[in-house]
Structure formats: C-alpha cells, structure tokens
Amino acid sequence: MKSFNVPVHYRSPLVTAIKQKRKADDKMKKDFTPTTLELGSLHIILARHFGFCYGVENAIEIAFRAVEENPGKRIFLLSEMIHNPGVNADLQALGIQFIMDTKGKMLMNWDDLQADDVVIIPAFGTTLETEQILRDRGINPTQYETTCPFVEKVWNRAGKIGDDGYTIVVHGKPGHEETRATFSHSKAHTPTVVVKDMGQAELLARYISQSLPAEQFYEDFKGQFSEGFDVNKDLQRIGVVNQTTMLASETQAIADYLKEATLDHFGTPSNKAGERVADTRDTLCYATNDNQSAVAGMLETDADLALVIGGYNSSNTSHLAELCELKLPTYYICDEHCIVSENEIRHFNMHNNDEETTKGFLPLQRPLRVMITSGASCPDALVERVINRLADMTGNAVKTQQLIDAWS
C-alpha cells in the first residue's frame, strides 16, 4: 500500500514499531487478536487495527501540500478535513479557513470566494451541487480534492447500479457530510433514499410491501429522498450502499432485511434475486471492517475498561465505542488531557451528545487492564500520549525506547 507524507508529529515510533511487527507476522490481516503491553502494574490491550486509514493519510498529505504549493494565496476547506480536532486546528494555524461546518451551515458567503482562491475538498467528498458552485466562481474543485477513494468507490457503484435501473438505499446518518455527498452523486443517476438505522429500514420495508399508505412515506422520510421519488414505482428494485464509516454489520443486516422484504413481496425466487436486489457488498470500507473486527477480537480478552480515542463528531469512532460499551465500561475521549487524574476522566456520552465527567473511573485492583483503540482520523501519536498518561498516573512511567526496541 502507498506510503504517505504526513507531518512527523502525527506519527508514533512506538505504535509504528508495533504495527510493522504485527503486519510482518500477519500479512493477510487474518489475526485480529490484540497486542498486550505489560507496563508494570498497567497492562495495555491495544487493538490489532486502529488509527489513520488510507483515505485519511491521503487527505492530510494533499492538504499540507496545497499549503506548500500556494504561498500567498487564500486557501479554504469546504468543512473539516477529517473528524479530528487536532488535525483541523493544525490546518487552521496554517491559515486555512473553513467555508462551512460539518452539518453544512455556511461560515462565510459563497460570493466571498475569488477565482484565484484554493478550495480543498475534504475526505468525505462533497455534493455535485457544491462542486458546481465552485466552478461557477472559477475555482477548480478537483485541484486539491482529498475525497477518500473508498467513498468514490461507493459513488461509482451506486451510479452503476442506478444506471441499471435500481433505486439506491443509502445507509448513513442523514446530516453527515459523506452521506450528503453520496446522496447527491446517487440521485444524479437514480431515485435515492437514506435510512439511518435498522428501524428506518424496517419502516421502508413496510412501504416496499405497500402495507403503509404511500403518502405517509414523504413525512416519515422527509429530507431523506430525492426529488420526484415515487413510492409506488421506485421501491420495486433496490440496491443498498453505505456511508463507509457505519457499522459494517449493521449495513449488511439492513441490506439482508430489505432484500428479504423485497423478494417476499414480489414473490421472487432466491435464484432470481438479482432481478430485484443489486449485490452491493463491495461498497463496505476495508478500514471500517478491519477496525471493527479488531475491536471484536480485542473484546475476547478480559479487561477492566476501554478507552476509545477520536473526535467526538467522528462516525467511525463512535461505532467503535458502541461495540466496546456492550461488554465493559467505555470512555470515549478526544485526547490525553481528558484523563484529568487517576480519579477523574472527561469523556463523550454518545447517548446525550455531550461531554461529561466521571470520577473513580480506574479500578483499584492491579494489574490494571485497559483496552485502547482509536478512530480512523486519530493520529498514532495521540494513542501513544494516552498510554504515557495512563502509565504516569499509575506509577508505571513508560520507557518508550525500550518498548520500541522490543518491538523492532
């Protein structure tokens, strides 16, 4: 796989040594058992796969290159480059300005842009409508486009099956940048509807079976369907694609459920399923799959608690936290400073969408066993700093070079 030129302060010599050793021992990536670091009375159980993925490293490299290649020019990002506050702050410190927030709210006027400005497309991609706005202002949106290749793969697949006469069902968070972009690209080819979870998939199945009045669809899925969507006609042949950072297992479950509902309603035999439901399994992101499988492998080991590191608005990170909290106390943190003391931690509560403080989060028994993973937009250096923070607070100061030597 290609090696990217990203700032050295995002790298961790320790994590790099561990990842390289695990990769050398498991070239086919079939082993999802975690890595255990025994630091005195602190045992760190590190997920097999975590941190920067291909798409994120590609985006970071392009963004920093855009700054280097355009001295004196105004440089803009459509929205956050990735969902990591540290990386976005670094880019802003270089003078990059954001045009909109992650929900699409404008932070400036389109008319303020000039033809010689540079605009970077973030890793999530953007809508065809936004691309046209930039072109109308004389700006080439593809000059520094950092759209993840795996997101583009979903767009291409959606376009292909849409051209073949299928309606696209996008499994994603309706307000997320990637979902908005995928919806835009898909609806240019075919009728498209977004479902956010299995509950909405079950609701959509009732419209496929025509057990709910068609007119109710437009209220139940308000803002989630393409213009001119015809419930009676456009749900006869479907294909499910995903926002690449969703739970892969949930996307597959939704696809299986809608497939069964469609075949049952139209009386289509399984050997002719392709006439009604397109095969879209190849739209699942490898990094999302690997990181989630690594968490599943990690959870087979006993531990006292789990730390999940990443931006609080990161979809893929939130799903890693969801998986962990099914088994043990889990704290979703954005950096090492969230570990305030041995007795106190600040962490994100996904259920009320707010940061909260928990006291007494570290058990007293020793050795203390802590699981750690991070999202696809989290630098490895941040993982190392969290490990060091825990080690210092538990009286197990890390001799980093010794660990690096042991794994090299």
Q: Sign (positive/negative) of CA torsion 239, 244, 245, 248?
A: positive
**In the Cβ-directed half-sphere of 104, how many Cα atoms lie within 13 Å?**
14
User: And the tokens for 320?
Assistant: 């890693």
User: And the tokens for 390?
Assistant: 């825990």
**Which amino acid appears at position 76 of this protein?**
F
In 164-323, the DSSP E strands lie at 167-171, 192-195, 238-242, 305-309
Cβ contact 241:159 at 8 Å: no
The total of other beta-carbon atoms located within 10 Å of residue 277's CB is 24
User: And the tokens for 318?
Assistant: 């939130």
What does the angle CA 92 – CA 98 – CA 101 come to, to the nearest 5 degrees? 120
Give the whole-angstrom CA distance, residue 393 versus residue 149.
41
Candidate list 178, 322, 336, 384, residue with the active-site label: 178
**Does the annotation mark 178 as catalytic?**
yes
Cβ contact 19:405 at 8 Å: no
Give the whole-angstrom CA distance, residue 12 versus residue 15.
5
Which residues are catalytically annotated? 178
